[in-house]
Structure 1
Amino acid sequence: MATEGVLKYLQSTNRPYSANDIVQNMHKEFGKAVVQKALDDLVSQGRICEKPYGKQKIYCVKQPDDDGSGDSQLKDLESQTVTVTENYRNIEQQVKEAESTLRELLAAPTTLEAKEQLAELESKTETLQAKLNKLSQNTVLVSHEERDRIKAEHEKLNKEYKKRKRVCLDVINAIMEGYPKSKKLLMEEVGIETDEDVKMPPIQSS
């Protein structure tokens, strides 16, 4: 009989549960409606305690010579549940906001374009510098204006890339606070490639 089965389960565990918890913990031996009716019957018979919590109720078997400890357990559980729920919701909201920001950053084509242009300018600057080192100081391979233009553009892209990279890493670190796996797996799942992955030359300091 469902009523006795539910009572027996509550007595054996001696812990507070909701109707859904009991259905799941009893491996769906009885349906939710049957379990709920059994709980209502047990409450009306005075064999278990009932404590409303939000949209659901928590049930606990009455102790022998009940001195109110069952109610105390329910109150403690309620307080703990409220705290845990609030913390979970706060973290969940932070993760959602961080994931949204990360998606926006990943969707922006300018980030990839800046990375490619920076790598190209790094390579070009290294080539020009090597040629300049080999030639006499009196030999002008590139005009001062051209060199200044390239240097200014390189520094601009360098700063922009560093800024975007820092923002991206901040977002990833924020997500990692609530992410159960490693940072490497997270970056693989969202499709982020590191400088090493794309064999990008080291960024020179300005």
Structure 2
Amino acid sequence: MAPKKAKETTPDEAAAKKEAAAAKKQAAAAKKAAGGGSESKPTVKKETKVTVTGEEAVNTIYEYLQVQNRPYSATEIFTNLHGAVGKTHVPKHLKELVERGNVVECTSGKQVVYHIVQDTDSKYSEEELAAIRSESASLSAQLATLRSQKRELDHKLAKIRSAPPLEELQEKVEALKEEIAHREEILEPLRASANDLTDEQKEAARVLEKDRDAARALYYRRKKSYKELLGIICDGLDKSPDKLIEDLGLEEVPI
């Protein structure tokens, strides 16, 4: 298969292309002459750090330690001052402050720290200090008393919390009432015919009465626990026992 022939350019088309290239070249030259060939980026001026020296540097370190009022190492002081004093000058000026008696040098482990000289003059007189010590001793005694009272209250609270809940007490009271009623039914005919009882029946009656008395004593103990628990609940709800019994629909049956 024969290759395709390239499209021939007419004289008019060649002239048009030549004019377009010349116009493009002329526009580029004009733009370059006007200074628009490339945009220049604005230069950012770096902020220079102000480093103090001499006595001004000594005062800067001293004022910093005075304001902070805590120990720092030479490296920490240089870092916290953000380069206001040269790194190699900080230890030198600290030594100078130590020699002047304005700063104390201490060794903490492997690190050397510096802090401002503390004022040892007390603003309190001996009488005032004695009064403060006396008050401190009195407060310590009060604190010991309060702690003892707290332990007692915690013990009472633990005892109250270990008591059976109200619902359980109510169930036990009802069970005791039923048991007492049942025993009363057994005792009633025996009492009516006490004179006709045999010795065995009388002994059985005595056993029943003894059991009844034991059940009654247990009932009163349970009732006492019920009253105590009811009082605690009433204190928490800010209600009287009678009002709470009425609201809960409880009924107290005397024995």
Give me the TM-score of the superposition, normalised by structure 1.
0.41
Give me the TM-score of the superposition, normalised by structure 2.
0.35
More RCO (CA 8 Å, sep 6+) = 1
Larger Rg: 2
